[in-house]
């Protein structure tokens, strides 16, 4: 059975290999940790805790990226 996460409102299947931590997920999605604010299951995660934040199947994750402009 596929392991899933809900990321920014969309369900994503990860086969049988769910990323273990928020840091691993961001690396997999090619998102720079320095440019994102992350919320897991309604809790804002400090950037310093990304590597220690374990992900469980069906977690709800919101990622907000900062984009420079001018």
Domain boundaries, the chain: 4-65
pLDDT at 16: 87
pLDDT at 1: 65
CA dihedral 9, 13, 19, 24 (to 10 degrees): -60
Q: Above 90 in pLDDT, residue 26? A: yes
pLDDT category of residue 20 using cuts at 50, 70 and 90: very high
pLDDT at 70: 63
Cβ contact 60:41 at 8 Å: yes
The reported pTM is 0.89
The domain 4-65 having CATH identifier 3.10.20.30: the answer here is yes
Cβ contact 34:65 at 8 Å: no
Question: For the chain, what is the mean pLDDT?
Answer: 93
């Amino acid at each position: 059975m596929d392991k899933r996460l809900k990321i920014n409102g969309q369900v994503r299947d990860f086969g049988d290999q769910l990323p273990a931590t928020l840091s691993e997920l961001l690396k997999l999605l090619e998102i720079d940790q320095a440019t994102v604010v992350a919320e897991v299951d309604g809790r804002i995660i400090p950037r310093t805790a990304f590597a220690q934040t374990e992900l469980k199947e069906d977690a709800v994750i919101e990622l907000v990226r900062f984009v420079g402009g001018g």
